[in-house]
Amino acid sequence: MTHYAIVGALLFGLGLVGFLSRRNLIIVFLSTELMFQGAVVNFVAFGRLHQNLQGQSFALFLLAIAAVEASLALALVVLLFRRKGTLDVDVWRTMQG
């Protein structure tokens, strides 16, 4: 299972790079979906390693959470775009406090 876990870790790491470095709000949230995928691969791989179905069950719950996250995040993106007319993350620096 090591190679599956490492592929999951790579997907998660690439998603983190995109989340930290891209400035387009939509790509930022797409990167979080990439991290979800890495987590799904790991859940299923370890579920198979331990020879039970909990990994697959949790992967399905993860899909539901991903759908929730995507819908709310994209609603926020639409709202923010309507306020300032741009998708640039740096425009919202004032929210850093």
User: Cβ of residue 28: shortest distance to other proteins, in angstroms?
Assistant: 10
C-alpha 94/C-alpha 83 separation (Å) is 14
User: Cβ of residue 97: shortest distance to other proteins, in angstroms?
Assistant: 18
C-alpha 84/C-alpha 72 separation (Å) is 19
Q: What is the CA 27 to chain-centroid distance, rounded?
A: 10
Contact between residue 27 and residue 87 where contact means Cβ atoms under 8 Å apart = no
User: Cβ of residue 35: shortest distance to other proteins, in angstroms?
Assistant: 10
Interface map 24-63 toward other proteins (x if CB under 8 A): x-xx-xxx-xx--x--xx--xx-xxxxx-xxxxx-xxx-x
Q: Does 71 bind other proteins (CB under 8 A)?
A: yes
User: Is residue 52 packed enough to be buried (19+ CB in 10 Å), middle (13-18) or exposed (0-12)?
Assistant: exposed
- Residues in touch with other proteins (CB under 8 A): 1-7, 9-18, 20-24, 26-27, 29-31, 33-34, 37, 40-41, 44-45, 47-51, 53-57, 59-61, 63-68, 70-72, 74-79, 81-83, 86-90
